[in-house]
Amino acid sequence: MTTTKPKVAAVIVAAGQGLRMGGVDKVLSPLGDIPILLRATRPYQDSPVISQIVIVVAGEKEEMCRRLVAGDAWSKVTHICIGGPRRQDSVAEGLRQLDRFDYVMIHDGARPLVTADIIDRGLAAAQPGLPEPVEGAPVVVGGLPVAPVPLVHQAEVAQRHRDGREVAVKVQYPGADEALRSDLRQLQRFARLFQAFAPGLEVRPLLTELRDRMVEELDYRDEADNQRAFAAAFDGDPRIKVPRVVASAPKAMVSEWMTGTPLSAIIRDGDRETRNEVGTLLAEFHYSSPARARLLQADPHPGNFMQLTDGRLGVIDFGAVARLPDGVPRVLGVMTRLAVDGRGQELLALATAEGFIRPGTQLHAEDMLAYLSPFTEPLRRETFHFTRRWLQRQAERVGDLRSPDFRTGRSLNLPPQYLLIHRVTAGSTGVLCQLDAEVPARAIVERWQPGFATE
């Protein structure tokens, strides 16, 4: 008796906008001398079990991607299509391009380390009668695609609660916890490599802090407690809405359902007034949260925010938070104010005392000021217009190997206790630039950032 070999396809999802990185395109960035997207796609092209590949990209990347995968070397790539505003929309668009298949593997185009062994084990784990998916493998289900475990470890769907309320049910995929822990272990193995790129940083403590905070996201009871704290802090707020938690368990959470316009849609199509209003609300939420909730929502991704029909900013996903029982440290406000006022010597002394400059590092006050001052430009005027070009200039300035600012940056350190605060500041700034929003940043910081306002 012969066994029919299953037909297997792959959908490579690369339709993101680089919002977390301020518009920097991860998938087209080179790793070595090969774009990350090609490194992620190559194992599927070379795998004998894969018959067809569809690549889903953002509209502006379509022509570039077509050129990258032209020729016989990419014979299995049959379609390059444009994704939607959300990841699930992009996956659905990719699936529409496929022929009939027994299994479909969904892979994130920004993850270039997939191997032939992972593909084989992922397929084996999905077939009837075999064990649960192995850690690190793409999740594949016959006839029904599921997002890859290392990237998205939950599904959220709308349901009707027994009391009649419409609720969001968030469920963790089986094996997601072990897959994430495996990813984090791999990340820590690269600590010495990261240290070479940033010799001023104490990399291992930062990776340890990142690991501890990400592992917290795996227990939804913790996330539910975080969300309850935010919901209580913003209860009755006329500008910001956090949904209440209905129930929670280690692998599942139920909360009130919210409907609104996602930030990704406003970034794409919003008018000037809406962009400015949403940008202002986003800044107010992040700067006020430590004082109001003693927590900081640490995942400033557009997918976690929406504009409700009444104009309020809706906020979801509180798995990643910075715990700030005393609010944001006052020293950050003082350092920011010193940079705004051009008081270089005082800034250098305080930064050294707080561990932002490693002992023994020779750094001049004027160099420190020159490095930080452009970042504080939004606080020197009543309103500031955040643009992609402004952010790109900052990235180019500190990333140019020939520039004095690059050398200064290599002398700076980020103490682990400030890691998530820095992540939120950088990430929310990137989202404001994607929104192209004009925001009264100075007034918001003066109200909510301890140590910044003049006495």
Instruction: Give the tens place of pLDDT for each residue, 415-442.
Output: 878 878 888 888 889 899 989 999 999 9
Summarised one tens digit per residue, pLDDT across range 298-347 is 888 888 899 999 999 999 889 888 889 999 999 999 999 999 999 999 99
Domain that holds residue 19: 8-149
Phi, psi at residue 171, to the nearest 5°?
A: -125, 135
CATH code where residue 93 lies: 3.90.550.10
Q: Do 293 and 233 touch, CB atoms closer than 8 A?
A: yes
Domain assignment present for residue 65? The answer is yes
Distance CA 299, CA 166 (A): 25
Distance CA 202, CA 197 (A): 12
Tokens representing residue 419 in the block: 């890691």
Task: Kindly list the distances between the CA atom of residue 38 and the CA atoms of 65, 226, 321, 332, 383, in Å, as whole numbers in the listed order.
Answer: 9, 39, 34, 41, 42
Domain assignment present for residue 218? The answer is no
What pLDDT was estimated at residue 138?
A: 41
| Nearest one of 187, 164, 451 to 326, comparing CA atoms | 451
Percent of all residues in the chain with a pLDDT value above 90, rounded to a whole number: 30
Domain assignment present for residue 206? The answer is no
| Nearest one of 301, 326, 289, 316 to 417, comparing CA atoms | 326
What pLDDT was estimated at residue 215?
A: 55
How many degrees, rounded to 5, is the angle at CA 328 between CA 414 and CA 152? Answer: 70
Q: Which of 36-40, 175-179, 276-280 has the highest mean pLDDT?
A: 276-280
HEC sequence for 302-320: HHHEEEECCCCEEECCCCC
What pLDDT was estimated at residue 184?
A: 52
| Nearest one of 97, 18, 94 to 61, comparing CA atoms | 18
Tokens representing residue 441 in the block: 């940043």
Tokens representing residue 147 in the block: 């997002």
Tokens representing residue 116 in the block: 């032939």
Number of domains in the chain: 1
Domain assignment present for residue 222? The answer is no
Q: Do 277 and 310 touch, CB atoms closer than 8 A?
A: no
Domain assignment present for residue 49? The answer is yes
DSSP string, 236-286: T-SSEE-PPEEEEETTEEEEE---EEEHHHHHHH--HHHHHHHHHHHHHHH
Q: Which of 128-137, 143-152, 235-244 has the highest mean pLDDT?
A: 235-244
Domain assignment present for residue 210? The answer is no
Query: Residue 138 CB: number of other CB atoms within 10 A?
Result: 28
Please give the distance of CA 116 from its chain centroid, rounded to a whole number: 27
Domain assignment present for residue 373? The answer is no
Distance CA 405, CA 374 (A): 11
The DSSP bridge pattern shows strands 103-108 and 8-14 to be: parallel
Reply yes or no on whether the pLDDT at 443 is more than 90.
yes
Query: Residue 386 CB: number of other CB atoms within 10 A?
Result: 23
What pLDDT was estimated at residue 300?
A: 84
Look-up of token digits 């969904």: 106
Burial class (CB in 10 A: 0-12, 13-18, 19+), 451: middle
* Side chain identity at residue 320, one-letter code: A
Percent of all residues in the chain with a pLDDT value above 70, rounded to a whole number: 76
Distance CA 68, CA 46 (A): 16
pTM of the model: 0.63
Domain assignment present for residue 190? The answer is no
Distance CA 37, CA 14 (A): 8
